[in-house]
Structure 1
Amino acid sequence: MTMRRKLGKAIFSLAITLPIVWGAQAQAQDNVSLRLNWYIGGLHVPFYFGVDKGFYKQEGINLTINEGRGSANTVQVVGAGTDTFGLADSSSIINLISKGGEVKSVMNILSSTGFSVVSAASTGIRTPKDIEGKTLAVSPGDPIRGLLEALAAHNKVDISKVNFVQVDPAAKVVTVLEKRADGLLGGADDQFFLLKYRGVEPHALRFADHGANIVGMAIFTGNNTLKTNPELVRRFVRATKRAWEEAKKNPDAAVDVAMKVKPDLNRQSTKDQMVVDFDLMDSPNVKGQIGLGHEKDWTQTIDLLKKYRGLETSLNWTAFHTNEFLPK
């Protein structure tokens, strides 16, 4: 075989091999997990929609979504490295970090809280003062209880005139339905619709509308991930932002995906919950900027937690949240 023929054969072989090697590299996916704050509901639909539409795959991410058992548990699980990312309420993230937890928020999902006094409309609870003389269902260690103190202080409500009945979280709605309580401490995007689709006309007295707003839900990850794989964080945030944008444009299609994941969901209730969450993405300081955490929102959240939830920290808001991974 001549030298020219040998060279030609080598070049031909290389030309065949390179696309195969490149293709294998291009298809490599990072295995990533997201731990939710609770069982699948309207708040979580956009994440499943993003997986179904391939938004995470397009960012080189093979995403597994795990249901949660409350934000306090989710921050512990992600902090321990069991899951890559987590979805939790801001107060749980802040509380863990203030105690030395190695996590950080990287993306606001809800810049306003959905925490509310949820009641049957017939009880007449329309303003904060209306809760005086009423009985509210709460859960032991309920984080909303501390925020109710902030609501009361801001609106000159005598909290000593409010009665509380302690029940398990899942029993709050039943307690109101059975008229053992006039209302419950819950979510405008959650228990509100659980009452509605049990035949009761509900009303939500939103804390965010009455001087007691805090950052609602945020995506966070472990500090080790931030240090060792910042590009993964950037890609995850980019895919998540796209998932929420597209779910907002196509809510019915997004709910279709959720129904495939969990067929026993109440379709209309799930959609209604998600639509409320779209509204909660904004705050007085953030309008139409998905993912952005504003200094004023995080600082106010920290201040309220210090005053009404016993938070002890001297850390600046940037110790709890960063916007550096948002798409430019």
Structure 2
Amino acid sequence: MVSRNITFSTTRRAFVAGSMAALAAPALGRAQGLETVSARMDFAPWGVQAAIHLAHVKGWFKDVGLNVDIQDGRGSANTLQLVNAGQVDVGQVQLGLVPQARVKGAQVRAFAGFGRATDLCAAVDRDSSIKTVADFRGKSIVCFAASPWAPFIDYWLAQGGLDRTTVELLLVDPAALWSTYTTKRADAILSTGPSILPPAEAVRPSKGIAASDAGVNFPSYGLVANEQVIAKRDHVLKGLVASQQKAWAYLRDGHAEEGAEAMIQQRPNAKLDKAILVNQIKLTIETFDTPATAGKPIGWQADADWNAALDTMRKSKALTTELALTDIFTNDFVA
């Protein structure tokens, strides 16, 4: 596989208050004859969320009869828990977390996968000589315990003949992750390329060493719902997928700036940086295609990609129970 070193420009994500809008959304939906659906994001606003905000601003949700209550999140794992519990209808999360959630008893499935290639990376200084896992010997690496990276760290290190005795692994609170890297208390940070590289540009210009170069396959972002919603609200999920396909295609076709502007309009108190958002959007779109999804619609998920992910999970001991692919995802709502 060809090594991918990625570079960018951004500011760090910020949490936003939207409680009043969230409370008003269901009533607004009823008044306009639209069906309200709550959509919880993975985290505070950043570029991966551009399509959902753009669809709202453009009126594309109304075109499919939906009023979408867009909620900021507190991490993909937290959003998955809320979706499973029925506290929100759908979630936009790192899909690679779904198999582990299923093994633990969660009744959630992915019904659209937008970022179908692995976006996990180890970010290092742009002028660093580090190119492969083996080059991290003797280096300090920062991560947090609940990161999507966490189950794969030991497997990833082993691909370079390393382990936790040959690197300094710093597991910190999520709130300290960013500052630990930007103040150079760590040589590398384990994160996702589209989220971390743009904000690093202003404070510590970085490149990303893709996890997939070492055989770590982990599906990126998409939409999930619990089995009850999948069974009873199929028309809602089809409409949501169609609107997101339209929005992502529009962004991919040279309109990333409009996506950034939509986010800034929808989250005016978040102090979002347009240039950073644009770069995050473009990086996110780079994860859309895999050989197995060539020629397929945006959101369509491939057996081959999920089998590769499950193989990584088994090898890294992140998954010890066999799952059928039908337990993990469905393409029933992707046209």
- Same fold, judged at TM 0.5 (above): yes
Deviation at 1:94, TM superposition (A): 1.6
- Specify the SS of the correspondent of 2:194: coil
Deviation at 1:290, TM superposition (A): 0.9
Aligned residues of 2:35 and 2:66 also touching (Cα < 8 A): yes
Q: Show the counterpart of 2:287.
A: 280
Aligned residues of 1:89 and 1:216 also touching (Cα < 8 A): yes
State how far apart, in whole Å, the 2-side matches of 1:237 and 1:141 are. Answer: 28
State how far apart, in whole Å, the 2-side matches of 1:314 and 1:266 are. Answer: 43
AA matched with 1:203 = K
AA matched with 2:65 = G
Q: Show the counterpart of 2:156.
A: 151
- Specify the SS of the correspondent of 2:207: strand
Residue deviations 1:196-237, cap 9 Å, x none? 122x22111011233212211120111111111212211111
1:52 aligns with 2:60: no
Q: Show the counterpart of 1:21.
A: none
1:304 aligns with 2:308: no
Q: Show the counterpart of 1:179.
A: 184
Q: Show the counterpart of 1:83.
A: 88
- Specify the SS of the correspondent of 1:124: coil
Deviation at 1:124, TM superposition (A): 2.3
Aligned residues of 1:119 and 1:176 also touching (Cα < 8 A): no
1:241 aligns with 2:241: no
- Specify the SS of the correspondent of 1:259: helix
Q: Which has the higher helix share?
A: 1
1:313 aligns with 2:316: no
AA matched with 1:271 = V
The one of 225, 228, 239 equivalent to 1:224 is 228
1:205 aligns with 2:209: yes
Q: How does 1:30-45 map to 2 (within 5 A)?
A: 30-45=35-50
State how far apart, in whole Å, the 1-side matches of 2:163 and 2:231 are. Answer: 48
State how far apart, in whole Å, the 1-side matches of 2:314 and 2:73 are. Answer: 26
- Specify the SS of the correspondent of 1:56: helix
Q: Show the counterpart of 1:269.
A: 276
State how far apart, in whole Å, the 2-side matches of 1:313 and 1:231 are. Answer: 32
Q: Show the counterpart of 1:18.
A: none
Deviation at 1:303, TM superposition (A): 2.1
Deviation at 1:320, TM superposition (A): 0.5
State how far apart, in whole Å, the 2-side matches of 1:210 and 1:324 are. Answer: 32
* Residue identity (%): 24
1:132 aligns with 2:157: no
Aligned residues of 2:154 and 2:163 also touching (Cα < 8 A): no
Deviation at 1:259, TM superposition (A): 1.4
State how far apart, in whole Å, the 2-side matches of 1:304 and 1:154 are. Answer: 12
Residue deviations 1:72-93, cap 9 Å, x none? 1101101111111101112322
1:323 aligns with 2:331: yes
AA matched with 1:325 = F
Aligned residues of 2:215 and 2:312 also touching (Cα < 8 A): no
Gaps of 5+ in 2: 1-29
Q: Output the TM-score relative to the length of structure 1.
A: 0.87
CA RMSD of aligned residues (A): 1.9
Q: Show the counterpart of 1:294.
A: 302
State how far apart, in whole Å, the 2-side matches of 1:304 and 1:251 are. Answer: 32
State how far apart, in whole Å, the 2-side matches of 1:94 and 1:196 are. Answer: 33
Aligned residues of 1:173 and 1:195 also touching (Cα < 8 A): no
State how far apart, in whole Å, the 2-side matches of 1:140 and 1:148 are. Answer: 11
Q: Show the counterpart of 1:10.
A: none
**Structure index of larger Rg:** 1
Aligned residues of 2:51 and 2:259 also touching (Cα < 8 A): yes
Q: Output the TM-score relative to the length of structure 2.
A: 0.85
Q: Show the counterpart of 2:14.
A: none
Deviation at 1:61, TM superposition (A): 0.5
Aligned residues of 1:132 and 1:159 also touching (Cα < 8 A): no
- Specify the SS of the correspondent of 2:180: helix
AA matched with 1:171 = A
- Specify the SS of the correspondent of 1:104: strand
Deviation at 1:70, TM superposition (A): 0.6
Gaps of 5+ in 1: 1-24
- Specify the SS of the correspondent of 2:245: helix
Aligned residues of 1:302 and 1:317 also touching (Cα < 8 A): no
Deviation at 1:158, TM superposition (A): 4.7
AA matched with 1:240 = Q
Aligned residues of 2:143 and 2:189 also touching (Cα < 8 A): yes
Q: Which has the higher contact order (CA 8 A, sep 6+)?
A: 2
Q: Show the counterpart of 1:100.
A: 105
State how far apart, in whole Å, the 1-side matches of 2:241 and 2:218 are. Answer: 21
